[in-house]
Amino acid sequence: MSAAEYLLPYDFSPLTILTYITVLGLYSYGLFSMPNSDRPGAGRIFTFTLGVLLCYGVMQTLFDYYSQYMFFVHRGQHLILHHLGPILIALSNPLPVMQYLYRQIPKSALPFLAPVGWVYRCLQHPVLASLLFFGLIYLWLWPPIHFDAMLSRDLYWVMNWSMLIDGLLFWWLIFDPRSPATTNALGYGKRMLCLAVVAIPQMVLGAYIVFARGMVYDVYEVCGRAWPMPPETDQLLGGLLTWIPPAMMSILGILIILRRAMRDDTTSNVSNKAAKEATQ
């Protein structure tokens, strides 16, 4: 097989390609035209691009073919769409670029964007965000729905896009670069609580799939696998991918937030001290 066959989409989706081009286009436009002082450094630009390209790669290359016909590859695909890709994008802190782009929107158009803001604020309620995060995993892995999603092209696209969008929302809520001390961003304690709360149901589901004696997802049996592999092995690997990496990512997330909270504490202590000394 040639390199082109690996890199070209298995299931060509113009809308998906257009969305990725728009996102990267807007990001580069923002980077080039924004003031030098606000521009993110090379490391952050690389992290953002890597996150976006990873998500693109699992949706519009031959990887998508294997995701459709191997359960464990499908779990890997969702691990990237719902976890790794959005984590990289959120950690790259594209906020300055987004703020610059927001300022370019004509004032007259802002009232029309208000409903988007309402929906966004609702979805970013920590309870709803956590519920949606593991709820979507349960929804798409509920065997009858999983079966339909794998049989219907439309439903399959809805599944992958809903996982990506929810991943971006959740991890943006968690890794919001603004400090909760000075803005209305979610407090560090609540962020860590969200991470712990979503880890548990994922571990339970993963363990259930790993230890299931029968076939939980027979759609791969019904529709044929990409290559002959024992169904038990496929299910076991898929279960492990649902169980271990997401749990690890929650813990890593908690550590990152903890470090941020400690750093914020130190800076606020230093400034408090400075303020005290200044008054004395």
Q: How many residues bind another protein (CB under 8 A)?
A: 31
End-to-end CA distance of the chain: 75
Q: Which residue has the tokens 């691990």?
A: 79
Q: Which amino acid is at 153?
A: R
The SS3 assignment for 147 reads helix
**181 sits near another protein (criterion: CB under 8 A):** no
Q: In this structure, what token pair is assigned to residue 8?
A: 């070209």
- Considering only residues 118 to 177 of the shown chain, the ones binding another protein according to CB under 8 A are 118-119, 121-123, 125, 127-128, 147-148, 150-153, 155-156
CA angle 227, 229, 230 (to 5 degrees): 155
Site map for another protein, 86-125, x if CB under 8 A? --------------------------------xx-xxx-x
10 φ, ψ to 5°? -75, -45
Of the ranges 15-23, 72-80, 221-229, 236-244, which one interacts with another protein (CB under 8 A)? 221-229
> Which of residues 5, 38, 221, 265 is near another protein by CB under 8 A?
221
Of the ranges 72-80, 83-91, 187-195, 227-235, which one interacts with another protein (CB under 8 A)? 227-235
Q: Which residue has the tokens 């286009």?
A: 25
Which residues have C-beta within 8 Å of that of residue 29, sequence separation ≥ 6? 101
Supply the minimum distance, in Å, between the C-beta of residue 69 and another protein: 5
Closest CA to 150 of 247, 69, 61: 69
> Which of residues 17, 54, 165, 226 is near another protein by CB under 8 A?
226
- b/e 19-57 (16+ beta carbons within 10 angstroms → b): ebeebeeebeebbeebeeeebbeeebbebbbebbebbbb
**208 sits near another protein (criterion: CB under 8 A):** no
**Nearer to another protein (CB atom), residue 234 or residue 246:** 234
Interface with another protein by CB under 8 A: which residues? 11, 65, 68-69, 118-119, 121-123, 125, 127-128, 147-148, 150-153, 155-156, 184, 218, 221-229
